Structure 1
C-alpha cells in the first residue's frame, strides 16, 4: 500500500448562515464537495475525505437558540449534508457526533467504506468521542462561544493511535473589539476542556490526570467566524516598538479595498492589515496554529444578501471566516510551515442567503509510522503564551461556573424573548410595545 494511502484527508467546512434556520435551499455540493484540480498530494488516493467537519455559526434565530430549539434544525442539516457528500463521493458516511450551543453547531462525519474494504473506512476506527461547549457572550451567554469535539482514531494494523480535536467558534464582532476577541480565545482555551488524556497517548502532557485543553491532542482544527477585520496596523502594547524609520503600510480607503479584493496581488496587500494575521505574528492568539493562503479568495464578509459579489458599503470587507490547524509534528520554530498539507482553501461565492460566504479546506495529514508500536506524540498546552500575560492554564471550576451562569441566562432571555415574539405576532419589538401598552392600561384602570 502506498504511504499516501495511509494518510487521513480531513475536510473542514464553515458557514455563518445568518440565522436562516431551516432555509438552506442552495446546492450544498459547491460547498461540501467543491471542484478542484487533483494535486500531486492526492495523485495516489481517492479525493473523498476520510473525515468531514461541518461548522455553523448563527444556525437559527437567536431567541430559538437561547431556549434550545435546535434539534430539528440539526436533524434537517444532517440529512442535507450527508446526502450531498455521499452522492458526490459515491461512498457512505457516518455521522460521528453533533454538538450545538445556541447558534454555534458542529457535525462530524467519517467515511464508512474506504478503498480498503477490509478496514471499512476510518469510521470503524473512531472511539472515545467527547463533546464540549463554552459561551463567550455577556455573562458567558451562548450567542458567542465555541463547541468542541475530540475522539481517538485507532491505527491501522495495530499502528499508532491519534487524538483529533475540532473546535468551531464564533467570536465577538466589530472591528473595534479586537481585544475582546483575543479574550474570547483565551477563555476558550482555558475552559473548553476535555477529559484527561488516555494512558496510551500520554507522551508530553505532564498533567495527564487533569482536564486537558484543546492543545493536548495530536491534530487540532480551530475554525469558524473568528470575526477579525481589516484595520490599520497598530503596534501591540506587549511588543517592541517598531523601527520608526520603517513606515507601516497605509490603510486603504473602502474603494481601494474593494478594488484590491478583486485581484490576487491586491489581496496580498490587504492581508497586511488583517487583525488575525498580525495578532498571530505578535503571539497574542493562536499559539502554534497555521493557516492556508487566505489571499487565494476574496473577503468573506460583509456581502449584500442575495448578491454574489456585492459588499455592504457600511462595512469594511474582511476575512472573518477562517480555518486554522496544527499537528504535533509541527516545529514551533517554523510557524509558517506545517506537516499538514493544505490541498484546498477557498470560499464559495455562489451562496447568497447570508452576508457571509461559506469556506472550505482540504487538509492532508502526515502519514502515521505503521512500524512503530507507540502512539503519535501530542502537543503540550502552551501554559504561558507570548506575551506572558496570556495564561492558558486549564480552569475547570471557572468552566463549570461559566456554563451554569451562561446556560441559565440563555434560557431566561430566550423565554422572555419568545414570549414577546408571540405577543408581537413575530416581532419582539412590537411585543414589547404591546406589553408596555397593556401595563399602562392596567395601571390606569387601577387608578380609576
Structure 2
C-alpha cells in the first residue's frame, strides 16, 4: 500500500521566503507581531491542512531598511541585530511544532538586508561553509541600490559533499520608464556579487548561479506597462483601476503587461529562474501609507516585490520546486509596499551520494562570468556611501531632522561667519586722531 502523499513530503525541504520594503521606517517599519507575514503555515493550504510542518529554512529580506543617510553612513548593523532578535522569537513562537531555529547568516549593505535561519533539528546543524556577499549598483557603485547574498552548503548523508543553497535579496532601480536600468542592475549583480570558488583548485570566484538551489527575492521594481489601447489605460492612476484589479481574472490579464514577465520570456533577465502565480495576489505597490487596501494614485499599481527560484533539476520550461504559497500581506500599513511571502517545497534529495556539488543548468547562450574588478568597484561604492552618508547625516542633525533645512542652516551659518570675519573692527568706522 502506498504511503499518503504528505508523508513523502518529509523527504523534501520546506523553504519559506519573506520580503518587505519597509519604506525607510527604521525600527518603526515592523509591528511587534509578525505572525501574518512569517507564519504562513497558519494560512489555508491543501498541503498544510494535512501536514502541520515548520519550514526547514526561513529567509527574510528587507529593502529600504532605514533612512538612507543612516544606511549610507554604515549605521544599519544595530538595526539588523534588533530585527534578528524579533524575527527569531516570532518564528519560534508560531512554529507549528514549537521547533527551534538558529541564525545561519545575516548580511546588510546600506538598506538591503538578508537574514537566513535553519531549523535546529535538521538544516542548522548540517549547514557549513557559510558565506555572505554584497554589492552596490547605484551611481558610482553605491549601495542605495544593489543586492546582498548568503550561501551555505548542507552536507549529505555519510559525509557526502551535499548541496549548496544561495539566497539573494535585491533592490533595483525604481520608476516605470527605467526598465533598461533595472536590466543593467541585475547584470551587474550577477557579475559582482561573488562567492568563493567552487573548488580549492580554482582562484576564480563563483557567481550566484553556481549553486544547487537559488532563491531570489526583493523589491525588483518591475512595473506594469499597460498599452494605450487597453480599457484600463486611462484609469491606471485612479481608484477605478484599484477596483478593477480586485478581480483575479483582470489581474491574470494584466500579468501579460508585467515588465519582469516580458523580459524573462525574452531571456534578458533572471535567466533560469522560475516564479509562482504572482497575479493571484493584488499588486504589492504603491499603497497609501496607513491603508490596508487603498492604492496611491501617484503610481500605477504593480507587482514590484517578487520571489523567484531555481534548482539543479529544473528544465527551462518548469521547476522541480513546488510553490505551495505565494501571496502578499495586506495588514501591514507602515510602508507603501506590502510584504510578500512564498513557501517552497524542494524536490527530493538524491539517494546516491555525489562526488561533486550539483549546480543549476543554464542555457549555452547565457554563461555569466565574474567581473575581475568586482572587489575594487564594491569598495569604491562603499567609500562614496560613507562620505555622502556622513555629510548627509551631519546636515540632517544641523537641520533638526531635515537635510534641506540643514543645508539652509549651513549656508546661513557660513554667511554669518564670513560676514563676521570681514567686518571691520570698531563697528566698521576707522577712529580719527
The two structures have a TM-score, normalised by structure 2, of 0.90
Partner of 2:214: 220
Flag the 1:376–1:393 CA change in 2: closer, same or farther, 3 A.
closer
Does the aligned pair in 2 maintain the 1:383–1:393 contact within 8 Å?
Answer: no
Q: Does 1:409 align with 2:384?
A: yes
Partner of 2:301: 317
- State the Cα distance separating 1:384 from its structure 2 match: 4.3
Partner of 1:261: 245
Count, aligned residues: 412
Partner of 1:326: 310
Q: Does 1:183 align with 2:191?
A: no
Partner of 2:417: 442
Partner of 1:161: 162
Task: Quote the Cα distance in structure 1 between the aligned partners of 2:113 and 2:338.
Answer: 17
Task: Quote the Cα distance in structure 2 between the aligned partners of 1:382 and 1:371.
Answer: 26
* Secondary structure of 1:47 counterpart: coil
The partner residue of 2:38 within 4, 19, 32 is: 32
Post-superposition CA distance 1:376-424 (Å, at most 9, x none): 5212566743xxxxx7321132x11211210000000011011101111
Partner of 2:99: 91
Does the aligned pair in 2 maintain the 1:159–1:370 contact within 8 Å?
Answer: no
Partner of 2:405: 430
Partner of 1:230: 224
Q: Does 1:18 align with 2:23?
A: yes
Post-superposition CA distance 1:134-171 (Å, at most 9, x none): 00111111110000111001123445600101000000
Partner of 1:239: none
Task: Quote the Cα distance in structure 2 between the aligned partners of 1:381 and 1:395.
Answer: 18
Partner of 1:244: none
Runs of 5+ in structure 2 lacking a partner? 424-433
Q: Does 1:48 align with 2:15?
A: no
Task: Quote the Cα distance in structure 1 between the aligned partners of 2:216 and 2:301.
Answer: 22
For residues 51-200 of structure 1, what are the structure 2 equivalents within 5 Å?
A: 51-89=57-95, 90-113=98-121, 121-158=122-159, 161-198=162-199
Flag the 1:46–1:157 CA change in 2: closer, same or farther, 3 A.
farther
- State the Cα distance separating 1:60 from its structure 2 match: 0.8
Task: Quote the Cα distance in structure 1 between the aligned partners of 2:113 and 2:61.
Answer: 6
- State the Cα distance separating 1:440 from its structure 2 match: 1.6
Task: Quote the Cα distance in structure 1 between the aligned partners of 2:364 and 2:194.
Answer: 14
Further displaced range: 372-381 or 177-186: 372-381
Task: Quote the Cα distance in structure 1 between the aligned partners of 2:264 and 2:21.
Answer: 23
The partner residue of 2:272 within 271, 288, 291 is: 288
* Secondary structure of 2:15 counterpart: strand
- State the Cα distance separating 1:38 from its structure 2 match: 3.9
**Aligned-pair Cα RMSD in Å:** 2.2
Post-superposition CA distance 1:236-257 (Å, at most 9, x none): xxxxxxxxxxx99984631453
Highest CA radius of gyration, 1 or 2? 2
Flag the 1:312–1:126 CA change in 2: closer, same or farther, 3 A.
same
Runs of 5+ in structure 1 lacking a partner? 114-120, 200-206, 235-246, 386-390
Task: Quote the Cα distance in structure 1 between the aligned partners of 2:270 and 2:56.
Answer: 26
Partner of 1:299: 283
Task: Quote the Cα distance in structure 1 between the aligned partners of 2:32 and 2:285.
Answer: 19
- State the Cα distance separating 1:19 from its structure 2 match: 1.0
Flag the 1:142–1:229 CA change in 2: closer, same or farther, 3 A.
same
Partner of 2:430: none
* Secondary structure of 1:378 counterpart: coil
* Secondary structure of 1:310 counterpart: coil
Task: Quote the Cα distance in structure 1 between the aligned partners of 2:405 and 2:264.
Answer: 44
Task: Quote the Cα distance in structure 1 between the aligned partners of 2:86 and 2:109.
Answer: 20
Runs of 4+ residues deviating >6 angstroms: 247-250
The two structures have a TM-score, normalised by structure 1, of 0.87
* Secondary structure of 2:177 counterpart: helix
Does the aligned pair in 1 maintain the 2:212–2:357 contact within 8 Å?
Answer: yes
The partner residue of 2:12 within 7, 10, 14 is: 7
